Structure 1
Amino acid sequence: MENIMFFPTPLPNEDFRSILYRYHMYSLNREITDTNIELFGSKSKFTVFPRSLEILLQKLPFCKELQAQTIIEKHTLLPTFLPFLSESRTNSILKDILHRAELEEICVGKLVGSKYGKSVSEEIKYCPQCIEEDWEIYGVSYIHREHQYAFIHTCFKHSVDLITQCDDCGTELMYTPILGRCKSGHNIMYRKSSNMNDQFEKELHMDLKFLFIHSTEIKLWLFKQRFWEYLNVKGFLKIGGKQIRQQVFIKEFLNAFTHEQFLRMGIEINYIKKWNSIERILGYKTDPLVVNVPLSLLLIKFLAGSLERFILKPVPFVSEIPFGNGPWVCKNKNCPEYMQSTIHKCARTKNGLGGIKGQFICECCQAGYVMEWKKGSVIKRSRYRNNVFFSKAKEDQVVHLLGEGETLGRIATKLFCSVDFVRKVAKEHSMSMQFKLLIVGNEIAATSEISEESQQKKQYRQTIVNFMQRNPEFSRNQILTKYRKEYAWLRRNDAIWFEENLPLSKSFVRFDWNEFDVTLEKKIRDSAKKLIESNPNTRVGKYSIMATLSKKEVGRLKTYIQHLPKSNNALIECSETKEQYQLRHLPALVWQLKTYYNYKQITVETIQAYRRSYRGITDDFKIVISERLRELNE
């Protein structure tokens, strides 16, 4: 492993991708993939969340600022997500970040969100004024991680709209602002301030700041507990406190925010109305991986006003505590503290039948038992399984003492358990040893069989190969006629070699990607045209067009895009740009202003005051809008 003698010092709140790109510039590598191979041994682009971090850290000299925990906490958005994840999910994600999980175990990439709630922006965002300040203070610009949320559109520090493309040429910025210019060489300059009287955006910034500061203290169980406390006190729970009054809750939730606010958060109202959307956030799905951060923050804002109030100010939730507060008695008759209140912990879990299962383990004898509880049931405290059980550690102790020659009675006395339990463990241990001997015998026999099968495979392969060399023009059917037994055996037991080495089957029809590409391209263009003609109130983008295709077509587009260049180009060409959407949506805005606000003449300034999305337009596009408004005002 080749050590790296130089690596950029991380800057305050610098996104980890920015640190990697600064190293890329100094390394003089031609492509980002070359830098990624050098740092992580992976031929890919820089990802939102790092992977194989340990490989990089082993190559670097020791530095306090370049430790795994420091990088995760100060240079990624991961602290925002951890409070919404269970401990097992958190461990899987950290394992993926540090050591890169196998393909089927990849999970960290799912944190960016889904089409129902995007948490991290697909495009890299910048604040023009932050770029200027960074150059003055540090001599270099960099990506600020707090700007990379998909649902945050302004810089809280400077009251400036975040940008993803150059205002002069429209080129996507990506990493180029680190050099102070876009790809075309234009300076990225501060244009116009945003309206930071927008209390909604301010409060979002405050919630995210609180989440960053307290990310290690807030746990998933606390979120779930608070949600149910607030649902109860707000009157959104049915009698019994187990189900949400879903229709009432969704109606009031939708009325609490404007349609524009939902759009800014990237959340569709139709998705909220689905029966399982709210349940995924409020605790029905016990172990989520895809965290819908924007929807979670809106729900918290609706219930408590702010995240800080939601976490720090619990509301009373009047409910009976299953099994009480303890302490509880030991049920093991062989324990010296039998029927005494020596158990101080109770592990409560749902039993799947609308009740709670409690597990109690004595600290003295390590014996445990289970009780079941159901709210409102007359027999809730008397209905329980009184069978005492012991842990695996206790069984291992029994096996150890048996190995030392202790009698069953002496073992039972020493370990505070019954003779029957010791006898049962001894019997199971004896059967286990016999089973292991049987397995060893089977493995020896299986090894012999595998050796014979391998010899047979080699012999049959050689027979078929020799025949094909002598008769290269023969078809599969002719080979089958000559060597029927060998042909059938290889086809059944050695299918991969069989298909790779025998002549191509005449009945085998290959999938024509080109034909499918042409058909799909036409369908994409027709669907996009119909979508735009229907004049929706949202931008017709790539995913809007893909939503009109069949499930199979979407799957092929996502998985085999390299075989579908025409379809891919059609998606790019037919997707509306921001300017195209703004121009198409202009008549609707003019109609709204004239109908509801009694405007007579609409100007560009009127539109900009009415809709924030028009405030960052270029001077050239402002002329185009003015001409279109002149037509609409006539």
Structure 2
Amino acid sequence: MIDILPPIYPEEIFYSWIARYYTYSGGVRRVDLLKQLFNKGRIKPDLFFPFSLNYFCKQLELSERITPDYIIENHTLVPYLRPFVNHNCYESVIKGVEEDNYPQDKKVKVHLLNQYVRQSLQVFKICPKCYKEDKDKYKEAYLHRKHQIPGNEICLRHKIRLIELDIPCNETREEFIDINKYNIDFSKYDNDINISKKYVDLSTDIELLFDYKNSELNLDEIKKKNDIMLINKGYKVGQGRVNQEKLIGDFINYYGRDFLRKLGCYPDNGTDGCWIRLLTRRPNRNIHPIKCLLFIRFLFGGVDKFITFDNKGLEKQIDVKFKQTIINWDHCGEHLLNELKCSFNTAIKNSIRLGILEELLEKLNIETNEAAIEKYKNNILQYLEENENAKRGDVSNNLKKEYHVVDLKDKKWLDDLFVVRSRTNTNSKDRKRKELQVDWNQRDLEMCRKILEAANRILLEDPPKRVTALYISQKVHYSTLRNKKGLDMLPNTRKVLYNSIETREKFKMRKIRYEVKRLISEKGIVKISELRDRVGFHGDYSEYRAYMIDVISKELHNGN
């Protein structure tokens, strides 16, 4: 039974509460204390996610009336995740913080702490004014929950920048660290810098997440509202594709490159892993909450407007407009798709959903009787006969009308046709004949040149990315580079490729040099702890510490 537990303060993060209790307990051994609180002698404290809350709450006196649900909702960052992860992942996190030996969903934790939109366990964020007020009111300070959210840079209440408190490296990571142990001199921190409205807006949206208790926010609702607003703003056409280039370009212009890069939220449009592409193409995938909030403000103007946005009403207006355009159309059928601003395939899908397929086909002057369908089939067969290597996608692109009408009226015939054709095209003799037609020596020389050019381009990218076989293959558009067996025919290419790729150690050292230059240009000084976080060290980095110090001294000397 825990009998000297101090009171938990408003908006105090659970980690801070236990850290103060650790101080209150005096000379009790850490192992004994952890065993008493969590039934575990050795644990690695987590600033963001508590653990073994069921056991912990059972040790409290009945008068405390504190339950695991109360702690989760009021003193952890777990509710902050709720709108942005699917239900199964969220339930997994809840079980992970409540039960003793339940493995937490590490994927969700990584999304909360991923790369730049993160902060180290040994970096606490503090508002100087909140710190002073807490000292005056409670005679001790504590860590505020919302201040610790990765990506939140200001105290919304006082409209000042949060101070990052670096904990000395000699503090063990198995210890709960009480900020009251340190005499913090806030005078050495420059807090008179004007705060960008973008940071205030982001902090406001974070605050609203907790105020609304996320009742109106969930992954499905976010997807539906985002889709409707993308359509309304012209980035998406019906159920069709999103104009990614325009969307990403407008998003970057809205926030500015510097702001997005400081948060680690810059959408790199040149890669398949661009988070905006993932958010719009795979809406059920977990995306960092800060990135989702930035996207919501870009589309809606803030979380408050997102909450009150009537997506069903706007969706109905879009459907009514689509339907009326088709029904009232009395011009040339060829121009109808331009008026609808969608592809033939998208128009077909929307018309089926709205029950006006026959009207659409009639306005497009497309016949759907049996004689017409037979004609379309003959056109498809003739095209395939003239183009031996044509695939299903080629037919869809070149014979749109014929393909989609037959697909709707006699899908089985179309499926059977391409099943037979696929078997024919995979004949081994044909494959060997095509291989013999390749001039492998010429390809070997061409790929060597392309790899060297791609590797040099990657080394110049900002922010830096590791030179890997996968990334080079994407740059040169040749997937065979990722397959060791595929390189057997390209011996020089294999040699150049393996000489071009970076080991993890080399990339870390290049990243250190890059981040040192950035910190010097931004702040004029370099803290080892801040450099460590920017480079992305998650564990022991002692083997790089001497190199970090050497690079810092050289860059400062060159600067002088």
Q: What is the TM-score when the length of structure 2 is the normalising length? A: 0.57
Query: What residue number does 2:235 align with?
Result: 236
The 2-side partners of 1:33 and 1:271 are apart by 49
C-alpha change, 1:523 and 1:109, in structure 2 (3 Å) is closer
Deviation for aligned residue 1:242: 3.0
Q: Residue 165 of structure 2 aligns to a residue in which SS?
A: coil
Alignment check: 8 A CA contact 2:54 2:100 kept:
no
Give the 5 Å matches for 1:408-423.
none
Deviation for aligned residue 1:271: 6.9
C-alpha change, 1:113 and 1:243, in structure 2 (3 Å) is farther
Deviation for aligned residue 1:273: 5.1
Query: What residue number does 1:91 align with?
Result: 91
The 1-side partners of 2:45 and 2:32 are apart by 11
Query: What residue number does 1:109 align with?
Result: 109
The 1-side partners of 2:511 and 2:68 are apart by 47
Matched, 1:44 2:43: yes
The structure with higher relative contact order (CA 8 Å, sep 6+) is: 2
Query: What residue number does 1:130 align with?
Result: 130
Alignment check: 8 A CA contact 1:33 1:44 kept:
no
- CA deviations 1:422-480 (Å, max 9, x no partner) are xxxxxxxxxxxxxxxxxxxxxxxxxxxxxxxxxxxxxxxxxxxxxxxxxxxxxxxxxxx
Alignment check: 8 A CA contact 2:89 2:105 kept:
no
The 1-side partners of 2:60 and 2:162 are apart by 34
Equivalent position to 2:288, from 286, 289, 292: 292
Matched, 1:307 2:303: yes
Give the 5 Å matches for 1:344-423.
none
- CA deviations 1:341-380 (Å, max 9, x no partner) are xxxxxxxxxxxx999x9xxxxxxxxxxxxxx969875599
The 1-side partners of 2:125 and 2:230 are apart by 36
Q: Residue 251 of structure 2 aligns to a residue in which SS?
A: helix
C-alpha change, 1:32 and 1:164, in structure 2 (3 Å) is farther
- Segment of structure 1 superposing worse, 23-32 or 77-86: 23-32
- CA deviations 1:296-343 (Å, max 9, x no partner) are 11111111121111221235124559xxxxxxxxxxxxxxxxxxxxxx
Query: What residue number does 1:254 align with?
Result: 252
The 2-side partners of 1:533 and 1:164 are apart by 23
- Letter of the aligned partner of 2:223 in structure 1? K
- CA deviations 1:233-287 (Å, max 9, x no partner) are 110003x43321111111111121222211232224437853552243236242x
The 1-side partners of 2:513 and 2:73 are apart by 47
C-alpha change, 1:279 and 1:33, in structure 2 (3 Å) is farther
- Letter of the aligned partner of 1:113 in structure 2? L
Alignment check: 8 A CA contact 1:127 1:163 kept:
yes
Give the 5 Å matches for 1:171-570.
178-179=179-180, 181-182=182-183, 187=185, 191-218=189-216, 219-238=218-237, 240-270=238-268, 274=272, 277-282=275-280, 284-286=282-284, 288-289=285-286, 291-314=287-310, 316-317=314-315, 318=317, 530-531=510-511, 538=518, 541-542=531-532, 568-570=541-543
Matched, 1:70 2:43: no
Deviation for aligned residue 1:13: 0.5
- Segment of structure 1 superposing worse, 246-255 or 272-281: 272-281
Alignment check: 8 A CA contact 2:123 2:164 kept:
yes
The 2-side partners of 1:272 and 1:309 are apart by 31
Alignment check: 8 A CA contact 1:180 1:187 kept:
no
C-alpha change, 1:112 and 1:209, in structure 2 (3 Å) is same
The 2-side partners of 1:71 and 1:256 are apart by 37
The 2-side partners of 1:235 and 1:270 are apart by 21
Query: What residue number does 1:412 align with?
Result: none
C-alpha change, 1:37 and 1:303, in structure 2 (3 Å) is same
Query: What residue number does 2:544 align with?
Result: 571
The 2-side partners of 1:377 and 1:205 are apart by 47
The 1-side partners of 2:548 and 2:356 are apart by 57
The 2-side partners of 1:94 and 1:6 are apart by 27
- CA deviations 1:557-609 (Å, max 9, x no partner) are 98xx7xxx8xx4223343479x949x95xxxxxxxxxxxxxxxxxxxxxxxxx
Query: What residue number does 2:60 align with?
Result: 60
C-alpha change, 1:262 and 1:545, in structure 2 (3 Å) is closer
Query: What residue number does 1:8 align with?
Result: 6
Deviation for aligned residue 1:180: 5.5
The 2-side partners of 1:576 and 1:314 are apart by 55
Deviation for aligned residue 1:148: 0.5
C-alpha change, 1:192 and 1:90, in structure 2 (3 Å) is same
The 1-side partners of 2:118 and 2:110 are apart by 10
The 2-side partners of 1:121 and 1:260 are apart by 25
Deviation for aligned residue 1:215: 2.6
- CA deviations 1:56-87 (Å, max 9, x no partner) are 01111124662222211111122211122333
Deviation for aligned residue 1:147: 0.9
Count of residues paired in the alignment: 376
Alignment check: 8 A CA contact 1:75 1:145 kept:
yes
Query: What residue number does 1:448 align with?
Result: none
Alignment check: 8 A CA contact 1:354 1:374 kept:
no
Alignment check: 8 A CA contact 2:54 2:98 kept:
yes
Q: Residue 137 of structure 1 aligns to a residue in which SS?
A: helix
- CA deviations 1:198-245 (Å, max 9, x no partner) are 21111112111111111341222221111111101110003x433211
Query: What residue number does 2:425 align with?
Result: none
CA RMSD, 1 decimal: 4.3
The 1-side partners of 2:86 and 2:132 are apart by 40
